[in-house]
């Protein structure tokens, strides 16, 4: 018999190792890196396909809330709750938020914790592994899944498996549950090779099954500071436009720690199931190349890419023609504002490159040229002394905040759709090829009253053109006024 399962989707990561496609404000879980669905959508669909799966609970960064909600709506999944983190505190506190949520209704609620950015190939094998894990969780174990290593990977944690255990409710499957003998963090290559030769080690998948009560008991026992601060943050939570915000001060006071360090490495109730469902955490461009479809020379190409005398490479062109000639084992990623060219063996060094961008106060690690907002998006297309040109798209029925600027005036030219423009107390409608002017210092608002997306060109002029030159008087999305 299948137990009711509550999928917990952790979507707070930044995905810096997949820069420049993944950015802090648009991370990898929100991107379609494998197939047509984004990684978050694929994870939601995978969880929803499990027997007796309930509506998911999501935990995500507050800055990603509208994108996360939109991606759920696109695939017709309505979460039970979306919890917002003002700042990431790693996985142990994030899971605790969901555990407190479920515990109030059913202390033995079965939690399936899934990172939003993993790839799993075999849904049937995944369902079988989850069913086996549930049997262990029903006996108050905290269960994870181990993946048989395919090589001496240094980017994954490892689990040394112990003796097999038989649970009363174990289904008649070919899988077995084992005690965890030890956890090991990301090793060097020599150590990883030794693990493979030993044969008793598995990759740590970062996927877990346990009851809300079991998790909270172990958290309180081993990490009382995390337990108490998250409990306070959850008890003082507020609802904001359908999202749930834990108390900010209490959550910021919470220690930052992963479930591996905080719980799994210290609990005596950890089990691991050697799973066979085709897993990758897509943690680097090299790992993405490994699972990508390739031509007869081992190359993956996407977009307008031209390859000659090149082997075993990953080339992704997002905006323009990219030619790669006479290079082997390389990663080439082209975006509108940044290009990465890297040998596949150097993927672990990308984090250092991002840190250098941050130290030099660059913005390319934070956001793309196209900036998404709850009402649509905008992107810069030209900039010079005292002027800036943007493309703007407003979704049907949506509107920007009522706002004014101290340092810039704006010209709007409608490209397609219908624009409703308010300047002070005057409302006007503009259609394709019509334009209007917004003087400096005048309260104004842009709205799309139509049934199709509104596209327009905005020309800003003034002494200061920064995005922080906005005074909001009213906003439909609860943003700071």
Give residue-wise pLDDT tens across range 402-425: 999 999 999 999 999 999 999 999
> From the DSSP assignment, how many helices (H) and strands (E) are in the chain?
11, 30
Secondary structure of residue 456 in the 3-state scheme:
strand
Collect all residues with Cβ–Cβ distance below 8 Å to 186 and sequence separation of at least 6: 154, 155, 156, 157
- Whether 216 and 93 have beta carbons less than 8 Å apart is answered as no
The per-residue pLDDT for 2 is 61
- The residue ranges of DSSP E strands in 303-434, in sequence order, are 305-308, 314-317, 322-325, 330-334, 339-343, 370-373, 376-384, 387-394, 402-404, 408-416, 419-423, 426-430
Q: What is the phi/psi pair of residue 3, to 5°? A: -85, 150
Secondary structure of residue 111 in the 3-state scheme:
strand
Q: How do the domains of the chain map onto residue ranges?
A: 5-280, 285-359, 370-474
Report the distance separating Cα 300 and Cα 344, nearest Å. 13
CATH architecture of 5-280: Alpha-Beta Complex (3.90)
- Whether 320 and 305 have beta carbons less than 8 Å apart is answered as no
- Whether 46 and 31 have beta carbons less than 8 Å apart is answered as no
The per-residue pLDDT for 176 is 86
Q: What is the pTM of this model?
A: 0.91
Report the distance separating Cα 19 and Cα 357, nearest Å. 11
Report the distance separating Cα 155 and Cα 187, nearest Å. 8
CATH architecture of 370-474: Sandwich (2.60)
The per-residue pLDDT for 480 is 65
Residue numbers of the chain with a pLDDT score lower than 50: 1, 481
The per-residue pLDDT for 233 is 97
**Cα-based distances in Å from 230 to 83, 99, 107, 137:** 12, 10, 17, 23
Give the tokens for residue 61: 């960064």
Half-sphere exposure of 62 (CA within 13 A, CB side): 18
Alpha helix (H) residue ranges in 224-333: 224-235, 248-252, 259, 285-291
The per-residue pLDDT for 1 is 45
For residue 268, which of 170, 142, 138 has the smallest C-alpha distance?
A: 142
User: How many other C-beta atoms lie within 10 A of the C-beta of residue 121?
Assistant: 12
């Amino acid at each position: 018999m299948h137990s009711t399962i509550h999928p917990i989707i952790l979507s707070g990561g930044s995905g810096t190792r997949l820069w420049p496609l993944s950015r802090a404000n648009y991370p990898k879980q929100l991107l379609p890196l494998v197939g047509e669905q984004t990684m978050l959508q694929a994870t939601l669909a995978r969880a929803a396909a499990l027997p007796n799966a309930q509506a998911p609970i999501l935990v995500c960064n507050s800055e990603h809330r509208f994108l996360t909600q939109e991606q759920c709506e696109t695939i017709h999944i309505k979460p039970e709750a979306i919890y917002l983190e003002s700042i990431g505190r790693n996985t142990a506190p994030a899971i605790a938020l969901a555990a407190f949520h479920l515990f109030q209704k059913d202390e033995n609620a079965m939690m399936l914790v899934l990172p939003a950015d993993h790839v799993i190939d075999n849904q049937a094998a995944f369902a079988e592994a989850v069913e086996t894990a549930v049997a262990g969780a029903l006996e108050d174990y905290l269960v994870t899944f181990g993946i048989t290593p395919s090589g001496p990977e240094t980017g994954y944690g490892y689990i040394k498996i112990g003796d097999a255990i038989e649970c009363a409710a174990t289904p008649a499957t070919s899988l077995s549950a084992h005690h965890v003998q030890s956890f090991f963090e990301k090793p060097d290559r020599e150590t990883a090779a030794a693990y493979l030769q030993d044969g008793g080690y598995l990759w740590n998948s970062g996927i877990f099954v346990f009851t809300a009560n079991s998790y909270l008991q172990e958290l309180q026992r081993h990490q009382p500071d995390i337990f108490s601060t998250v409990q306070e943050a959850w008890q003082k939570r507020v609802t904001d436009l359908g999202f749930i915000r834990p108390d900010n001060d209490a959550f910021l006071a919470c220690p930052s720690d992963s479930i591996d360090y905080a719980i799994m490495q210290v609990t005596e109730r950890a089990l691991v199931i050697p799973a066979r469902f085709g897993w990758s955490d897509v943690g680097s461009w090299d790992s993405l190349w490994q699972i990508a479809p390739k031509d007869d020379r081992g190359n993956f190409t996407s977009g307008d890419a031209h390859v000659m005398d090149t082997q075993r490479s990953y080339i992704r062109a997002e905006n323009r023609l990219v030619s790669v000639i006479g290079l082997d084992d390389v990663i080439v990623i082209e975006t509108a504002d940044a290009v990465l060219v890297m040998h596949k063996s150097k993927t672990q060094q990308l984090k250092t490159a991002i840190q250098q961008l941050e130290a030099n106060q660059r913005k390319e690690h934070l956001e793309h040229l196209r900036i998404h907002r709850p009402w649509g998006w905008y992107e810069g297309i030209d900039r010079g002394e005292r002027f800036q040109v943007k493309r703007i798209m407003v979704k049907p029925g949506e509107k920007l905040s009522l706002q004014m600027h101290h340092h810039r005036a704006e010209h709007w030219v409608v490209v397609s759709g219908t624009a409703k423009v308010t300047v002070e107390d005057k409302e006007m409608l503009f259609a394709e090829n019509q334009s209007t002017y917004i003087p400096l210092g005048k309260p104004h608002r842009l709205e799309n009253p139509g049934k199709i997306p509104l596209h327009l060109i905005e020309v800003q002029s003034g002494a200061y053109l920064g995005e922080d030159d906005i005074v909001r008087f009213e906003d439909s999305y609860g943003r700071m006024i």
